[in-house]
């Protein structure tokens, strides 16, 4: 079963702002990630294609037993929540690395996609369109 998250207008920055160190070494450039199809006040100057980050995770036995018990009594599955958050961060970072490798400074129309594989495995994917943007005017 494929589940899609609902698009939002939230934008996040991944990585530090571009700066120079005292040794004139460049730090990792900043990539804007937007779930929107454009960025207000900016124009797209180059479309570099689809980028994605992917991971497949399996649930460990302890988490499964805890989740099974918790499903009986109700409440948040904190171990599963923590694993999902870590997985989302991992796939977003992989997507950003691919976008940076193509020379992008922005990923537009970013989405998450998940699917179950083999009963105990979950695939999580972050994807979007790598672009170069610049401010208007």
Query: Which of 81, 94, 119 shows the shortest CA–CA distance to 33?
Result: 94
The whole-angstrom separation of Cα 102 and Cα 100 is 5
* Range 2-135 has CATH code 3.30.110.70: yes
Residue 85: φ, ψ to 5°: -60, -45
Domain ranges of the chain: 2-135
pTM for the model stands at: 0.71
pLDDT in tens, the chain (137 residues): 444 444 433 344 444 334 334 444 455 568 999 999 999 999 999 999 999 999 998 766 555 565 566 567 777 777 778 888 999 999 999 999 999 999 999 999 999 998 888 777 889 999 999 999 999 98
């Amino acid at each position: 079963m494929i589940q899609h998250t609902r698009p939002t207008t939230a934008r996040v920055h991944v990585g530090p702002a571009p700066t120079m160190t005292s040794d004139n070494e460049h730090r990792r450039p900043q990539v804007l990630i937007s779930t929107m199809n454009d960025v207000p006040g900016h124009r797209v100057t180059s479309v570099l294609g689809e980028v994605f980050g992917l991971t497949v995770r399996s649930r460990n036995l302890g988490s499964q037993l805890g989740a099974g018990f918790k499903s009986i009594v109700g409440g948040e599955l904190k171990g599963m929540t923590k694993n999902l958050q870590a997985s989302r961060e991992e796939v977003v970072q992989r997507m950003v690395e691919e976008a940076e490798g193509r020379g992008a400074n922005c990923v537009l129309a970013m989405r998450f996609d998940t699917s179950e594989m083999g009963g105990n495995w979950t695939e999580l994917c972050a994807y979007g369109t790598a672009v170069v943007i610049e401010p208007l005017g």
